[in-house]
């Protein structure tokens, strides 16, 4: 989720779950954006947590916004 390959892994896993579980890829991508928007401030209070940064990156690169 936070590592250097997080974006690649997220994309691969999203495609995998869409294919294997029969979900529309666009729906899963939209759900990821919704998750980031609703949980960005629900985890650790310090910089070491990383969740806020993950949410910001998710929103920055999520195709829902392009």
Question: How many distinct structural domains can be found in the chain?
Answer: 1
| pLDDT value at residue 31 | 95
Kindly state whether residue 1 falls inside one of the protein's structural domains.
no
State the pLDDT confidence band at 64, using cuts at 50, 70 and 90: confident
pLDDT of residue 19 exceeding 90, the answer is yes
Residues 11-27 have a mean pLDDT of: 96
pLDDT tens digit sequence for 34-56: 999 999 888 777 667 788 888 88
Better-scored residue on pLDDT, 21 or 66: 21
Kindly state whether residue 34 falls inside one of the protein's structural domains.
yes
Kindly state whether residue 51 falls inside one of the protein's structural domains.
yes
Query: What CA–CA distance (Å, rounded) separates 19 from 39?
Result: 26
CB-based contacts of 5: which residues, under 8 Å, 6+ apart? none
């Amino acid at each position: 989720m936070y590592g250097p390959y997080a974006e690649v892994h997220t994309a691969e896993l999203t495609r995998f779950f869409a294919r294997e579980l029969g979900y529309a890829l666009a729906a899963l991508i939209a759900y990821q954006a919704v998750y980031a928007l609703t949980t960005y401030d629900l985890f650790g209070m310090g910089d070491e947590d990383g969740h806020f940064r993950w949410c910001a990156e998710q929103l920055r690169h999520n195709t829902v916004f392009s």
